Amino acid sequence: MSTFSDQESHEPSATLWRDGRPVYDRGSTVCVIGAGASGLTAIKNLKEYGFGADCYERETGVGGAWNWRHDRSPVYASTHLISSKPLTEFPDFPMPDNWPDYPHHSQLLSYLERYADHFDLRPHIWFGTEVVRVEPADSDRWDVTTRSTGGYGAERTSRYAAVVVANGHNWAPKLPAYEGLDEFRGQVIHASAYKDATQLRGKRVLVVGAGNTGCDIAVEAGQQAAKCWHSTRRGYWYAPKYAFGRPADQVGDAGGAYRLPLRVRQWMFHQILKLTVGDLTRFGLPRPDHKVFETHPIVNSHLVHSIGHGSITPVPDVSRFRRNSVTLVDGQEVEPDLVVLATGYLPRFEFLAPEVLGIDASGRPALYLNAFPRRHPTLAVAGLLQPDSGLFTMVHWQTVAIARWLRLRENAPDRARAFTARVDAEAGTRWHSAKVKESTRHWFEIGHIDYLRALQRTLDELEVSA
């Protein structure tokens, strides 16, 4: 790499070069990748701390996962929040209090669009532009190469003081490898390709997976399909959306936030579930092999109801596919026309070398607070979290911490060193008091109160005037 000064140019000058390509110097501006909920709050909080921000968004609108028009959006027509409003919204930009407790995805999108307009974020966003490469440059800076989405036009490289990666982690389908899948003659789709109930109407449907999406699709199939089997690997705790007439997460948090020990909280939650949902083995569902909080919470009031009506048949895990049928682990054979694999997503950071985020052989990055990588103080990931509540509160404070950190590095390098040491020592730590199941599903699982308390300590430590 070589550099030279071009004092004569009046263009947004390419004063730097990398491998023979011009690099446009964006000075102290921070690059944000993605204009979904995490990217938007990153831009807003960086602005609040006085940083310039350039955001690259591959689509033509804001909203990321919540914008159903986007290729990579996992939402389907009937998607509603599974965490209630106060546990979901940005803490400094509440959702309207006349909205329902669990708003529809279209309301979420309008909320994010209003957030972008309210805080005047759109002028910072380059729509229809995807990030091809992010490479370390001199002095902890980053060269970000972009091009128009779809690969048209020339690539352009700009040098930034810092990069906040907010590209989401619920868009690259995780597809399990089943024996015989290739010879199966029925239709197989991943839940990411499921958009509305017309895809299910009149068919014999097998839904695989007991995440929130799997349960939602099973409920819809129960109403629309000729037959619905719901295959789950293990027994789960199905929390209702309401308990005692109130959103169940609000009831749960009333105990959780008062520093009650985990065992007491688990016992209380089990009692609440016993009172509200009852014993699910009666319905033919397997008994959970774990305590609550040890897997990502499933919130669905309709699933048990549909099983009770006989419109969903719970079945065990898939063993193998055959030409016209699917064999389950208990030897049962079912003959679906359509198989929906609601088997989740895997994170992907194809624009970054894996070692930058400390990604191990299994694909899991090692980050402090799921945000800060080792040895790269000017790089952060926003929103890489699976909280047992809404995400927006977490990612808001996470991006405030990122903004404070970048400011502190400039203003008080001595204090910054202590934080660097902590990132180094604690990258990869889990932020959950329960022992969560080891699976890709739970790589980023956090207990929202445990995580926010840790974040509170970090925010206090990084305290700096805006």
Partner 1 sequence: MKTRVVRVTDWTRPVPAVYREVRAATPEAPEGKPPLLFVPGFGHGAWVFAEHWLEHAASRAFPAHAVSLRGHGGSGPAPEATLRAYAHDVVQVAASLPRQAVLVGHGAGALVVAHALARYPARAGVLVAPVFGGWGTLGAALRRNPVGTLPAVFGGALRLNYRQLFSRELPDAAARDYASRLGRASSRAQWQLLRHRAPERAVGDPPLLVLGSPDDRVVPPAALTRTAGRYGAAPLLFPGMGHDMMLDARWREPIDAILDWLDKDLVR
Write out the residues near partner 1 by the rule CB under 8 A. Answer: 48, 85-87, 91-94, 96-98, 117-120, 250-251, 253-254, 257-258, 393, 397, 400, 449, 452-453, 455-456, 459-460, 463, 465-466
Task: Give the shortest CB-261-to-partner 1 separation in angstroms.
Answer: 17
Task: Give the shortest CB-351-to-partner 1 separation in angstroms.
Answer: 31
Task: Give the shortest CB-36-to-partner 1 separation in angstroms.
Answer: 20
Ranges of beta strands (E only) in 35-115 are 53-57
- C-alpha closest to that of 284 among 260, 262, 265, 310: 310
Task: Give the shortest CB-392-to-partner 1 separation in angstroms.
Answer: 13
Looking at the Cβ atoms of 262 and 366, the one nearer to partner 1 is 262
Looking at the Cβ atoms of 11 and 97, the one nearer to partner 1 is 97
Looking at the Cβ atoms of 192 and 393, the one nearer to partner 1 is 393
- What are the counts of helices (DSSP H) followed by strands (DSSP E) for the chain? 9, 28
Looking at the Cβ atoms of 421 and 466, the one nearer to partner 1 is 466
Looking at the Cβ atoms of 91 and 354, the one nearer to partner 1 is 91
Task: Give the shortest CB-102-to-partner 1 separation in angstroms.
Answer: 13
- DSSP class of residue 263 equals H
Q: How far is CA 6 from CA 22, 29, 270, 288, in A?
A: 12, 20, 68, 66
Task: Give the shortest CB-410-to-partner 1 separation in angstroms.
Answer: 17
User: Is there a contact between 384 and 169 (Cβ–Cβ < 8 Å)?
Assistant: yes
Looking at the Cβ atoms of 200 and 434, the one nearer to partner 1 is 434
Give 336's strand partners.
Answer: none
Scan for tokens 């959780």, then name that residue: 256
Looking at the Cβ atoms of 119 and 321, the one nearer to partner 1 is 119
Task: Give the shortest CB-253-to-partner 1 separation in angstroms.
Answer: 5
DSSP notation for 390-443: -SHHHHHHHHHHHHHHHHHHHH-HHHHHHHHHHHHHHTT----SS----SGGGT
Backbone torsions φ then ψ of 111, nearest 5 degrees: -65, -45
Task: Give the shortest CB-390-to-partner 1 separation in angstroms.
Answer: 10
Give the Cα separation of 90 and 249 in Å (integer).
17
Helix/strand/coil percentages in the chain, nearest 5: 30, 20, 45
Looking at the Cβ atoms of 193 and 254, the one nearer to partner 1 is 254
Give the Cα separation of 364 and 429 in Å (integer).
12
Side-chain half-sphere CA neighbours of 326 within 13 A: 29
Q: Is 221 helix (H, G, I), strand (E, B) or coil?
A: helix
